Amino acid sequence: MMQTERNMTAPIYRGDSVGVPIQQMQLGMRNIYIQSSSVHSLAAGDEWLVSTTALLQASEAIPILQTAYDSGVTSESGIIPGGEFERGREHKVDVTDDGADVHVVSSEQLRLDIGHIFAAAAEEEFEDGMDNEFTRALLRTVRQHGNIAVNELEHVILNEQVSSECAGEALKWLGDMEHEPTRLYRRWLLEKALVECPSMIARDGANVGLALMDDPHAIPFLKKAIEASTSPLFSEMLLQTLHQLEETRNATASPDDIVC
Question: 117-156 mask for another protein (x: CB under 8 A)?
Answer: --------x--xxxx-------------------------
Contact status: 237 vs another protein (CB under 8 A): yes
C-alpha separations of 49 from 32, 39, 144, 257 in Å: 10, 12, 10, 35
DSSP E strands, the chain: 12-14, 22-27, 30-35, 48-52, 91-94, 101-106
Nearer to another protein among residue 130 and residue 260 (C-beta) = 130
What is the footprint of another protein within residues 65-104 (CB under 8 A)? none
Task: Give the integer Cα–Cα distance in Å for 147 and 206.
Answer: 18
Are the CB atoms for 48 and 97 separated by under 8 Å?
no
- 134 φ/ψ angles, rounded to the nearest 5 degrees: -60, -55
The torsion of the CA quartet 153, 156, 157, 158, rounded to 10 degrees, works out to 110
Q: Closer to another protein by CB, 38 or 252: give it.
A: 252
Which of 167, 76, 81, 158 is closest to 121 using CA atoms?
Answer: 167
Q: Quick one: 240 exposed, middle or buried, by C-beta within 10 A (0-12, 13-18, 19+)?
A: middle
234 binds another protein (CB under 8 A): yes
Q: Does 233 sit near another protein (CB under 8 A)?
A: yes
**Closer to another protein by Cβ: residue 91 or 172:** 172
Nearest Cα residue to 102 out of 87, 81, 82? 81
How far from chain centre, in Å, is Cα 187? 9
Nearest to another protein of 61, 208 (CB atom): 208
Stretch that binds another protein, among 41-49, 90-98, 103-111, 226-234 (CB under 8 A): 226-234
Q: Which is nearer to another protein, 109 or 235 (CB)?
A: 235
Residue closer to another protein, measured from CB, 30 or 249 = 249
Pick between residue 95 and residue 193 the one whose CB is nearest to another protein. Answer: 193
Assess 201 for contact with another protein (CB under 8 A).
yes
Of the residues 49, 208, 218, 225, which one makes contact with another protein according to CB under 8 A: 208
Q: Please report how the helices 219-228 and 200-213 are oriented relative to each other, as an axis angle in degrees rounded to 10.
A: 150
Binding of another protein at residue 240 (CB under 8 A)?
yes
Helix (H) or strand (E) holding 153: helix 147-158
215 forms part of the interface with another protein (CB under 8 A): no
Q: Which residues bind another protein (CB under 8 A)?
A: 125, 128-131, 168, 172, 176, 200-201, 204, 208, 211-212, 214, 230-234, 236-237, 240-241, 244, 251
